[in-house]
Amino acid sequence: MSNITELIKKEIESLSTDATRTNIGRITTLADGVARVDGLSKVMFNEMVEFPNNVSGIALNLEEESVGCVVLGDASRLKEGDEVQTTGRLLSVPVGMGMLGRVVDAIGNPIDEKGPIDSSENYPVERIAPGIIPRQSVDQPLQTGIMAIDSMIPVGRGQRELIIGDRSTGKTTIAIDTIINQAKINKLGEESGDPDFRPVYSIYVAIGQKNSNIARTIKALEDNGAMDYVIVVAAPAADNPANQYLAPYAGCAMGEWFLRNGKDALIVYDDLSKHAVAYRQISLILKRPSGREAFPGDVFYLHSRLLERSARLNKDSGNGSLTALPIIETQMGDVAGYIPTNVISITDGQIFLETDLFNKGIRPAVSVGLSVSRVGSAAQVKAYKKVSGKVKLQLAQFRELAAFSQFESDLDAATKAQLDRGARIVEMFKQGVYSPVPVSVQTGVMWAMENNFFDSIDVSRITAAVESLKEYFSSSGKEVVQKIHEEGNLTKGIEEDLRRAVEDWKRSFA
Annotated catalytic residue: which of 89, 135, 216, 374?
Answer: 374
Is 22 an interacting residue with respect to another protein (CB under 8 A)? yes
- Site membership for another protein, residue 68 (CB under 8 A): no
45: amino acid identity, one letter: F
Candidates 18-26, 129-137, 350-358, 462-470; binding stretch for another protein (CB under 8 A): 18-26
H/E/C letters for each residue in 227-288?
A: HHHEEEEEECCCCCHHHHHHHHHHHHHHHHHHHHCCCEEEEEEECHHHHHHHHHHHHHHCCC
DSSP 441-487: HHHHHHHHHHTTTTTTS-GGGHHHHHHHHHHHHHTTTHHHHHHHHHH
Q: Rule CB under 8 A: is residue 80 a binding residue for another protein?
A: no
Q: Give the footprint of another protein on residues 425-464 (CB under 8 A).
A: none
Q: Closest approach of Cβ 86 to another protein, in Å? A: 9
**3-class SS of residue 15:** coil
Q: Which is nearer to another protein, 120 or 456 (CB)?
A: 120
54 or 508: CB nearest another protein: 54
Q: Are 168 and 356 in contact (CB under 8 A)?
A: no
109: contact with another protein by CB under 8 A: no
Q: From the CB of 16, what's the least distance to another protein, in Å?
A: 8
Q: Counting contacts by CB under 8 A, is residue 25 touching another protein?
A: yes
What count of other Cβ atoms lies within 10 Å of the Cβ of residue 304? 17
Least Cβ distance, residue 34 to another protein (angstroms): 17
Q: How far is the CB of 10 from another protein (least distance, A)?
A: 11
Restricting to residues 47-66, name those near another protein by CB under 8 A.
54, 65
- CA dihedral in degrees (413, 419, 420, 423; nearest 10)? 180
Binding segment toward another protein, per CB under 8 A, in 6-14, 95-103, 275-283, 339-347 = 6-14
Q: Please pick, from the candidates 15, 128, 332, 414, the single residue that binds another protein as defined by CB under 8 A.
A: 15
| Residue 452: Cβ within 10 Å count | 10
Q: Given candidates 1, 2, 3, 11, which one binds another protein under the rule CB under 8 A?
A: 11
Active site residue 374: yes
> Which uninterrupted H or E stretch holds 198?
none
Q: Figure out which of the listed residues 46, 56, 85, 119 binds another protein, where binding follows CB under 8 A.
A: 85
For residues 353 and 356, give the distance between their C-alpha atoms in angstroms, rounded to a whole number. 9
Residue 41 within binding range of another protein, rule CB under 8 A: yes
Q: Does 19 bind another protein (CB under 8 A)?
A: yes
Write out the DSSP string of 349-400. Answer: EEEEE-HHHHHTT-SS-B-TTT-EESSGGGGS-HHHHHHHTTHHHHHHHHHH
Residues, the chain: 510
Nearer residue to another protein within complex by CB, 85 or 355: 85
What gap in Å lies between CA 186 and CA 229, rounded to an integer? 8
Number of residues that bind another protein (CB under 8 A): 21
How would you list the strands of the sheet with 372-373, edge to edge?
Answer: 103-104, 230-235, 200-207, 264-270, 321-329, 162-165, 349-353, 372-373
Nearer CB in complex with another protein: 85/290:
85
Q: Is 12 one of the binding residues for another protein (CB under 8 A)?
A: yes
Stretch that binds another protein, among 5-13, 126-134, 190-198, 261-269 (CB under 8 A): 5-13
Task: For residue 39, state whether it binds another protein (rule: CB under 8 A).
Answer: yes
Using CB under 8 A as the criterion, which residues of the chain lie in contact with another protein when the complex forms?
Answer: 8, 11-12, 15-25, 39-42, 54, 65, 85
Q: Supply the residues annotated as catalytic.
A: 374
